[in-house]
Amino acid sequence: MPSDDHHRERPAGGTPPEFRLRDLRPDTDTAAVRALVLAGLEQHWGVVDATLNPDLDDLPGTHPGSRTVVAVDVDGRVIGTGTVVPRDATTAEVVRMSVDAGCRRSGVGRAVLDELVATAERWGTERVVLETTATWTDTIAFYERNGFRVTHHDDGPFGRDAWFERRAAPTDR
């Protein structure tokens, strides 16, 4: 998989971290990914009930056929993550996107999202969907800047959710 070759370097005088993308290593990354996602949820909600997130203990097992990508800094610390899950022959869904608070707006999230969308396109999907809480305006703006558009809103168990779609790039199928 090409993800081990994705490297980003800090621009001269800039603050973005140097990082690389790679696939999740369940034996060594699961705890860090779980902590990163839960920290992001806590920052948005103020509190988080970790028991409501059991999928974080086994992303590949919970989402068969999925691919989880992590962004790691030069010290090997997980600073970003996301998972893409095939939903049917034409659709993939991005779940569990999170970026360390100190690394947001540095290109980490964009790189992870681009890699997840590219994976879905290699699978031959026609569209990539995702959802987030409708009141998280910064998150919504991030997805819109990255080519997603709101398709609808639903009332979920924790409030109103915004659903997004991005059409996949045409490929020779």
The structure tokens listed for 134 are 């409708």
Total count of domains within the chain: 1
Tell me the per-residue pLDDT of 46-86, one tens digit each, with 9 for 90 and over. Answer: 888 888 999 999 999 999 999 999 999 999 999 999 999 99
Please report, for the domain that includes residue 72, its CATH number.
3.40.630.30
In a domain, 151, yes or no: yes
User: What is the per-residue pLDDT across 11-33, written as a single tens digit (0 to 9) for each?
Assistant: 333 456 899 999 999 999 999 99
Residue 170's pLDDT is what? 65
Q: Is residue 119 part of a domain?
A: yes
- Does residue 14 form part of some domain? no
Q: What is the pLDDT of residues 78-112, one digit of tens each?
A: 999 999 999 999 999 999 999 999 999 999 999 99
Residue 70 forms part of a structural domain:
yes
134 domain residue, yes or no? yes
- Quote the pLDDT of residue 138: 92
Give the pLDDT confidence score for residue 35 in this predicted structure.
96
Is residue 76 one of the residues assigned to a domain? Answer: yes
Single out the residue of 105, 63, 102, 70 nearest to residue 85, CA to CA.
63
pLDDT of residue 16: 66
Q: Three-state SS across 28-61?
A: HHHHHHHHHHHHHHHHHHCCCCHHHCHHHHCHHH
Asked if residue 10 is part of any domain, the answer here is no
Residue 3 domain flag? no
Domain that holds residue 130: 19-167
113-172 tens-digit pLDDT: 999 999 999 999 999 999 999 999 999 999 999 999 999 999 988 889 999 999 988 665
> E strands, 57-158, where?
67-73, 78-86, 91-99, 127-133, 149-156
pTM above 0.95, yes or no: no
